[in-house]
Each structure stands twice: as structure tokens, then as C-alpha cells.
Structure 1
Amino acid sequence: MTHPISLGLDFGTESVRAILVDSTGKQHAAVAVPYADGQITSSLPGDTKPLPPHYALQSPQDWIDSASQATRAAMAEAGIAASRVIGVGVDFTSCTMLPTTRDGTPLCELESFRRTPLAWPKLWKHHGAVTQTERLNEVAIERNESFLNRYGGTIGLEWFFPKLLETIEGAPEVAAAAEVWLEAGDWFVWQLVGGPAESLTRSTCQAGYKAMWSADDGYPSQQYFKAVSPELAAAVENCLPGVMRSPGERAGALRDTMAERLGLNPGTAVSTAIIDAHAAVPGVGAGDPGTLVMVMGTSSCHMLNSETLADIPGVAGVVEGGILSGMYGYETGQAAVGDAFAWLRNLLGLKSFDSLADAAMGLPPGAEGVTCLDWMNGCRTPLMDGNLRGAFTGLGLHHSGEHLYLAMLEASAFGLRWIIELLREGGVEINRLIATGGLPHHNRAFIEIYADVVGTEIEIHPSTQATAVGAAVLGMIAAGSDASGFSEISAAAAALGAAPPEQFDVVHARPDRTSEYNDLYRRYRSLAAAVAGGL
């Protein structure tokens, strides 16, 4: 029997991964292709003029080219006919967003805007909209806007409307030319299926977590946006066309031109997009409430499904059905994890941490007096402040690289403990922790510290492709039950993403170290309060 296959396209910060998974969960191929221009942080492609600080852009052509290469390579590796692929699912970094014309052409691809940075897609980690974020928050607080309750009381620096307002104020000529503003995940799905702007699919996941949208109220009111900026209000009213659909809902069928590029059949079902980290929840088969799924890579995102709705200060968002239908999806996160480690490695002049890891793990908890705040890219949860910066304290002449390394690992673990305490204090149950992404498989000692600091066991899911598998789950659902055999995301997630208990690497907390970390955690919180301004 030949089982139907779904293609998952996982768009990360540096590359896109194409994975082919059949309805039994068998992975036939997985191929990653880096973006030619990578993260555009120093200057635009073909230009030498430096970009302003805190800019992080990308090229939409890279997304198309890399996805095409990855899909064709995966199909060749698997040796399967295109007719076996019944659906395509897409996950994407968020909020990564861009302005386009009415036909979907990115403004950065027009000759008149090629050298205008704010015409290019702003990557999720773009932090140029500081003053705009402050203004959006000030007005929301002044007006006592109720939508703030769903986002822990704060609009995030990395979100949709701060980046839109940044362009209005920083490059008005771009804003005037923009006919459509949308998330990159929605743009890519639009490219796959085609059609007019009025019918393009917008993901309720992306809009719910990054653009303050809700099924009950839609976007914030025009009165709010006008109080912030009349130009912003006009953009929201006129430049956000489309139809809201949930991840897994069919966005359309693969059009001829993109089918040819990908090496698939025209008419193949295409799912509505999902935020990359959120895709990991179905990707590890975590369909039950109370399971915290930690996707650990460049940054870390922690997703939790719950039957409880709570307004919790500092939580990056809670959206009904935002991750899986029938439950409230909570998102929290840490803005720099792998990025912070890479920064430290480069600072120390190392090619890898191999030479330091053993020495660092041989140190006692607390790195012999060194404490770190790993806010090198701001603090997401719980402070929601992209302007905050990291610190090392307690340094002496006897300390060396391994002390800095251990202190940074501990800081990340302390941040996770803070997040867990925040959710539990808000009345949201957490009874299981699953780690996935690249870091847990490459650095088990990191997860050991996490377990010690939190004081509970952490399960490392055996798959290194959870987000891509999650995207494939959505492709199965979009294809329909007649083609896939699945009518519910939870059933598809269990079949494609779940693993038997014996395949998990379970990391247990060591009670003696947990006891020591209780005191060190209090020291970390005191330092955090001092650096953040006496919280």
C-alpha cells in the first residue's frame, strides 16, 4: 500500500527545510537550503551603504529560490512521484512582514525601491521600530484598550503594526506605494496558490499573535489606530485585504507556475500558514493541554495549549484556537538563545564550544560567582522589552571563558523558570515539558541545566524536524479526509509527529543541584530587577 505524502516547508531564519512525510509518520526525505542573502543586517544586496543598527531584513526571492531547490532535492532523494504528494504545509518565522503591490510583487523588487531598506521584508528579529512601539503602547494604555489583556499588557517590538508604522514614518514613499501589507508566511502561500489580493489567505495564527487580531473583535479599532497615526489607520483600512483562515484550513490549490518550480502537481492542496515555532506542537504530537513545547534554536519559543483562559502580564499572546482548535494557545519566548551562544563563541574567538563545554560542566552551579542576563536581543517574556540588554556580573581575574559559558546557559534556564512560574501563578497548568529544535540534540548538557533549574524532568523529542513535520501535518489536513484519512489536526499530529516513550531522551533534575539553583535563581531575579529598572 502506498501512503499519501505531505510536503512541509519550514522557513527559518537562515534557511528553508523541505520534508516529505507520509500518513504513517515515515519521513521520506528532508533537505535544507540556505538563503542566498541570509539575514540582511549590514547592507542591502548589491549595495555597500551600511544599514542602520538593529535592522534585520530578508529577500523574498530567496524564499522562492530556496524552497524550490529544497523541494526538488527532497523529491529526488525520496524517489517518489509527484502524484503521491497530496498537500503542502508552510510554517514561517513571525513577525516577518513586507509591503507589496496589489498583485503581490514585493516593493523591494521594484527598481525604484531596491535601495530603500524599509521596502524590504523585515525579519522577525528586526528591532528598528523602537519609538513606534512605544507610541503604540502609550496610546493603547491611555485608551485602556482591552486587546492588551491578551498580550500581557504590552505590544511587542517585533510585531506587525510597529514595523508598519516604522515604514510610514521612516520611508513615507514606501508606505504610499504599498498596496498590501502582510506576513511573509501569508505572502508565500499567496505565491503558491495565486489569486487576487481580495481573496489572499491570512493566517489567524500569525494575525492573532503578532497583529492583535481576534475572531471576536478583528484588529484593534480604527479609533485606536487614528489616535496613533492617521496614516496607520488608513493603511489598516485599505492595505490588509484577504480572508482569515486557520492553520490546516485549505488556502487554495498549487498554481501551475509554482508547481513547475517545486516539481509538484498543479492543484495540490495548500494549507494556511502557521508560525514556525507553533508548528512544533503538532510536529511533536502534543495535542493535550498542559504540555509546554519548547522550540529551541536561534531564539526559543514556548507554546502551551490550555483549556483555561487567563490574562497574564508579560505573556506574548493567548489566542483561542491559535495553535490547535478547541484550546487556548499561549506563546512565550526568549529572544536570544542560539544567537546569544553564537555571540559569546565569536567574542571568545572560538570555532565551537567543544573546548569549553567539559570545563564549564565541571564547574559548580553559579559559575563561581558569575551571573548573566542573556538579554543580548532584548527580553521577550516576561518583560516584553526589546530595548533591554544583557550583562555579566561578578567577574574577577580568575574567571575565564568556561565561566561565561556556564553563566549564559544558566541565565537561559533561569529565564525559562521565570516563564513557567508566571504561567502557573496565572492559573495555567503545566504538567509536561518537551524540548525540540536544534539545540537540545546538539547540547544535552544545556537541557540538563534546564532540568536542574526548573526542578522537573524534560523530554527531548527524538525528531530534529518538529516544525517541518508540523507543517506537513497541516498539508495533510488541507488535502481533506478523503485524500489523507485525517479530519482532525490532533489525529494527524499523533500519526505524523508523536513518538513512543522509549524514543524520548528524558533528562531528570538532580535534586542537589536544584537546591543550589533555588538560591541562585533569586540572585538572577534580583539582577534582572536592577537592570530592568527596579521591577
Structure 2
Amino acid sequence: MEQKYVIGLDYGTDSVRALLVDALSGKELGSAVHYYTRWKEGKYCDPQSSQFRQHPLDYIEGMERTITEVLGNFPADVRENIKQNIKAISIDTTGSTPVAVDERGVPLALLPEFSENPNAMFVLWKDHTAVKEAREINELSHKWKTDFTKYSGGTYSTEWFWSKMLHILREDEQVRARAFSWLEHCDWMPALLTGNTNPLQIRRSRCAAGHKAMWHKEFGGLPSQEFLTALDPLLEGIRERLYQETFTSDQAAGIISSEWAMKLGLPEDVVIGVGALDAHFGAVGAAIEPYTLVKVIGTSTCDMLTVPLDNSGDKLGDGLVDKLEDKLIQGICGQVDGSIVPGMLGMEAGQSAFGDFYGWFQQILSFPLKEIASDVISEEEIERIMEGILPALSVKASQLPVSVDDEVALDWINGRRTPDANQEVKGILSALTLASSAASLFKAMVEATAFGSKAIVKRFEQEQVPIRQVIALGGIAKKSPYVMQTLASVLNVPIAVASSDQVCALGAAMFASVVAGIYPDIETAIQAISSGFDQTYYPDKEKVVVYQQLYNKYEKLGAFAEAMVQVNG
């Protein structure tokens, strides 16, 4: 009997996971997770200055350990049979998470002289050190003869490729002198596996380039060198050391190198797919369809939406333009041909903090445990108690009534991704009284993250992009019924939760099955491999009206926060 297996690798904020899938049956055979060692120790990060960097060794070690572990869980004879029938590997990562590389495509942090330099490491998606640079990009682009931000929602973000690159080049003379080019994490991993890391030859991800680096066919690729030099002379000559052509993830980046085939014990004909951003593969793993909003909910959120490039035959009601590719959607994280599903226009939005907002509150509440009780309670017991804080708060918050007089929070604790990227705005807690409790404050935070999601839906609808259904995936979607119920009631739509625990990795496996030639296109792979849905949350009609009133207060709170940014300069 013919056997064909694929591996999906999913690099998240804290860990990497490998998923082994039987490509013919669609069965998930096993998974393994590795938490980044250096990241877990808090190395190279400074939350006070919004600096978040990751060492490439964490990525390399994670790939080797997870693939080895997921294959090592089988008896020896079965394991060898599976290994010999692995056909392809595809990889997704967070983004924009770029790194400076030398002429060979080696991240500078892998060179001895840069091994402890955070500026030579991958600049994680949530690093917000480049606020000034993002502001300058927007100011110049909006008065340039071509507005290079127009396919990026009209606003360029501090979380993205050019902002981060320019910030590092300005800040670190040694990195500037050695950096030949720059790579996104999702481009470097496939290149590493194939052994072709030449920055001028690597097959760059359409997904990352279009959404994070202002790449578009109208521009002939990346923004013009004239524009980049005007932005800062430090960027002189950079365009020719990057790329012009990009590739969708149904295409191969190459074949696994002999070195990595030997390390992993795999055949030397394993195909390696072009990489992409994690949320985009997650949308595919959740079986995205046109006009379906797929919410990847974790530390932050990414909201993914696909529409046909020409929807003139689609009966969607009055007012919708015939070609959405000709309409510029304001305030989102880009609209890119083929970024999610090849042949479709992919749109991205999202929130800079979702689970991170809850995690921050958990850390605040754990102060007495860490600072006072640590002498009498073991570290293990402290960790156990901390892990119980958010579940206990969820139970208490779910029992509270919903009133228009409740506390209202603003979820911009890590800035605002969409609508209209602005990393300078801050989070707010309002309407506090002496009756405010930990549970009522947590309730306000959960509602705030739901209101942030509603603002995104509202923007799509204002821009004449209809949303027919909502699908959720990620750790919060699977583990937090209170959060999901609140979200369904605030959005006033049912929300289906994808069944797989590793939906992003599953999407990567789907693309691997296409690059291996097992399926002709990603739509066919979705039909064959999709895990379906295991739960649906429906709006609580009694709360919908009250949430709308609270949302109105949320919008006013947001206007106040933006005004304060203006006041503070």
C-alpha cells in the first residue's frame, strides 16, 4: 500500500512544533513541541523598551529536536518506514521577524563576534523599538509620487520589515558594517534546510514580502531605491541585495540538503516548501473559504480573510466592487495576491495584544507570590498557583452580570495593529471604583480584546468586504470558553473552533502535500486533510445589546488614547 507522509513546522512566539501527517488519509500521526531555551530564560529582551529578540540557535535546535522527537515516538521498524516515505516539509513562522545576514546568508548572530549581540538576532514580530522609523516611512510614503503603503492598509507598522531593518542599521554600526542583506524568518528556515542560503537566490515568501515589506507587482517589487535612499542614505544599494521576485507557498524552495537529510535521518529527495507567516498557514489549516474571517488567537491575534481576485459573478449584495483587488482596504495589514491561498487575494488584520493582555494581568496579580511568598512556597508551587490565576478569573468573571456601567478597558497595551497601525497608543482601564475587583477588571480586559476584534470586523464591513462566517484557532480558542463566548456575543456571530490542536502546523502540512505533488492545489489538500471543527460558540442575545453600548464607550476611550499621543508629541 502506498504511503506518503509530510511534516509541518510551525514557529510561534515561544516555541516550535512539528506535526507529522499521513497525506493520503489526512490523519495527524504525532506532534512534538520545543520551547526556545534562550527565549524562555528571557535573554536578549527588554520589555521596558519593547525589545524582543530571538537567537537563531533557538530555531535550529527546535527544528532538529521536534522532528527527531515526533519521528522517535514510533517503534523502530515503523519509524524507519515513515522516514523513508516522508515527501515534503513546509514551514511557517511569526512575522515580520527579520535578521541581518552576511553574503552567505548566515544570520550575524551565528558568527562568533555577534553571538551575544541582540541587534544581530531575529527581531521578533512584537519588537516595537522602531516606532520612529515607522513614523518616518509613513510620512515620506504619503507624500511620495507613489504611496508604497497603499497595499498595506495605508499605514506602515513598527512591527514590519523596513522599520526594523532601518532601526538596527541606525543603532548598531558593527551590524551595519557586516550586514549584506536581510531575511525573514520564514525565508531563512527553508533556505537552511535546502542548503541554499545565498540571499540573492533564496525563494522569498510572497506572504511575508507583500504584507510586511511593501512588495507589490505594481511597484516592480519592493519600494524604489530612490524612495529608500530618501528615507535614509544608510539604505543606499539595499534593494539590489534583497529581491524582486516572490513565490507563493504552493511552490518548492528546493530539496533537502545532504547535511540536513543525514541529521534528521530523512531521504535526500524530501521537498522543502516556500515558507509563510504562521497565521496564514493557520487560516489554511482551518479550511478557510472566501469571505470567512479566520482568527488566530494567541498572545496576539491575526485575522485572515480571502476573496476571489474577480468576484463579479458572486452575488454579495449592493455596493461591493466587482474586483476587490482594485479596492484599497484602509487600515489593515496588507492585501496580497496569493498570500494565503494562491489565486485568491489574501487580507490580514489583527491585534498586537490579546493573550498578552491577560498574561500581563496574571503577572501583576502574582507579585505577592514571587516577591513575598517565595521564601515559604516552592518555585513549583508558585508556578502551579500562577497557572490557576486566569482559569479562576474566567470562572468568576463569567458569573458577573454585564452592565453599561461596568469598567471598560482599551486593549492597546502593546500598541494597535489594526485598524490603522499605531504602536504609540497605550492601554487604558476606565470607570474604576472601590467596588472594582480582580474578576471585574479581567472581565473588562476580555471584553476589550473582543471589542478590538469588533473594530476589525467593522472596518472590513465599512470597506464593503462582507464576512460570512468566523473561525477561530489557537490556544485561547481551544482552552478559554469564557473568552470565546464573550467574543461571539460581542461580534454577534457564531464562531466555529478548529479541531486540530496544531492548526498552523496542519496548514504547513497541507502546503507540504502540494509541493510534493500529492495534491494538485491547496484547495484539494484542504478537502483531504482538514480536521474540521469541534465546537461552535453562539451569541448570548441578552448581552449583545449591552455589549454594543460598552463598545461605543470603547471607541470613545480609543479616541481619548489617540488624543493623548498627540498631546504628548
Matched with 2:248 is 246
CA distance in 1: counterparts of 2:145 and 2:424, whole angstroms: 23
Q: Which amino acid aligns with 1:284?
A: A
Matched with 1:488 is 521
1:63 to 36, 59, 63: 59
CA distance in 2: counterparts of 1:133 and 1:102, whole angstroms: 27
Q: 1:399 to 1:367 in 2, by over 3 A?
A: farther
Instruction: Tell me the secondary structure at the aligned position of residue 251 of structure 1.
Output: strand
Q: Does 1:334 align with 2:351?
A: yes
Alignment of 1:492-507 (within 5 A): 492-499=525-532, 503-507=533-537
Cα contact 1:252–1:270 (8 A) shared by 2: yes
Q: 1:383 to 1:198 in 2, by over 3 A?
A: closer
Matched with 1:234 is 237
Cα contact 1:39–1:56 (8 A) shared by 2: no
Moved more, 366-375 or 398-407: 366-375
Q: Which amino acid aligns with 2:212?
A: K
Residue by residue over 1:394-439, the C-alpha shift from the partner in whole angstroms, topping out at 9 and shown as x without a partner, is 1111111001110001001111111101001101121010001111
Matched with 2:379 is none
Cα contact 1:200–1:243 (8 A) shared by 2: no
- Percent identity, please: 31
Alignment of 1:98-497 (within 5 A): 98-195=99-196, 196-217=198-219, 218-237=221-240, 239-241=241-243, 244-286=246-288, 288-307=289-308, 308-309=324-325, 310-349=327-366, 350-351=386-387, 352-366=389-403, 369-480=406-517, 484=518, 486-497=519-530
Residue by residue over 1:442-466, the C-alpha shift from the partner in whole angstroms, topping out at 9 and shown as x without a partner, is 0011111011111111111111211
Matched with 1:8 is 8
Instruction: Tell me the secondary structure at the aligned position of residue 190 of structure 2.
Output: helix
Cα contact 1:180–1:241 (8 A) shared by 2: no
Instruction: Tell me the secondary structure at the aligned position of residue 148 of structure 2.
Output: helix
CA RMSD of aligned residues (A): 1.8
Cα contact 1:6–1:85 (8 A) shared by 2: yes
Instruction: Tell me the secondary structure at the aligned position of residue 200 of structure 2.
Output: helix
Matched with 2:22 is 22
Cα contact 1:11–1:91 (8 A) shared by 2: yes
Q: Displacement, 1:146?
A: 3.0
Cα contact 1:378–1:385 (8 A) shared by 2: yes
Q: Which amino acid aligns with 1:55?
A: Q
Cα contact 1:97–1:121 (8 A) shared by 2: yes
Q: Which amino acid aligns with 1:67?
A: M
Cα contact 1:291–1:304 (8 A) shared by 2: yes
Instruction: Tell me the secondary structure at the aligned position of residue 49 of structure 2.
Output: coil
Cα contact 1:414–1:524 (8 A) shared by 2: yes
Matched with 1:523 is 553
Residue by residue over 1:68-114, the C-alpha shift from the partner in whole angstroms, topping out at 9 and shown as x without a partner, is 11001111224433111100010000011101112222111222223
Instruction: Tell me the secondary structure at the aligned position of residue 245 of structure 1.
Output: coil
Q: Which amino acid aligns with 1:326?
A: G
Instruction: Tell me the secondary structure at the aligned position of residue 129 of structure 2.
Output: coil
Q: 1:42 to 1:533 in 2, by over 3 A?
A: farther
Cα contact 1:368–1:403 (8 A) shared by 2: no
Residue by residue over 1:10-68, the C-alpha shift from the partner in whole angstroms, topping out at 9 and shown as x without a partner, is 00111110001112210011110111112675547xxxxx7871110001011111111
Cα contact 1:91–1:273 (8 A) shared by 2: yes
Gap runs ≥5 in structure 2: 309-323, 367-385
Q: Displacement, 1:134?
A: 1.1
Cα contact 2:21–2:509 (8 A) shared by 1: yes
Moved more, 209-218 or 24-33: 209-218
Instruction: Tell me the secondary structure at the aligned position of residue 198 of structure 1.
Output: coil
Cα contact 2:358–2:390 (8 A) shared by 1: no
Q: Which amino acid aligns with 1:189?
A: P
Q: Which amino acid aligns with 1:348?
A: L
CA distance in 2: counterparts of 1:376 and 1:14, whole angstroms: 19
Alignment of 1:75-94 (within 5 A): 75-78=71-74, 79-80=78-79, 81=81, 82-94=83-95
Matched with 2:377 is none
Moved more, 53-62 or 307-316: 307-316
Q: Which amino acid aligns with 1:77?
A: N
CA distance in 1: counterparts of 2:401 and 2:390, whole angstroms: 18
Moved more, 208-217 or 57-66: 208-217
Q: Does 1:511 align with 2:512?
A: no
Instruction: Tell me the secondary structure at the aligned position of residue 378 of structure 1.
Output: coil
Cα contact 1:253–1:268 (8 A) shared by 2: yes
Q: Displacement, 1:243?
A: 5.1
Q: Displacement, 1:489?
A: 0.8
Q: Displacement, 1:2?
A: 4.1
Matched with 2:312 is none
Q: Which amino acid aligns with 1:225?
A: L
Q: Which amino acid aligns with 1:35?
A: Y
Q: Displacement, 1:504?
A: 3.1
TM-score (norm 2): 0.88
Instruction: Tell me the secondary structure at the aligned position of residue 237 of structure 2.
Output: helix
Matched with 1:47 is none
Residue by residue over 1:241-297, the C-alpha shift from the partner in whole angstroms, topping out at 9 and shown as x without a partner, is 5852211201100001112222322220000001000001211122x2111110001
Q: Displacement, 1:115?
A: 3.7
CA distance in 2: counterparts of 1:216 and 1:254, whole angstroms: 33
Moved more, 458-467 or 352-361: 352-361
Residue by residue over 1:169-221, the C-alpha shift from the partner in whole angstroms, topping out at 9 and shown as x without a partner, is 11122122111211011111111001233321111111011100013421111
Moved more, 359-368 or 326-335: 359-368
CA distance in 2: counterparts of 1:292 and 1:106, whole angstroms: 35
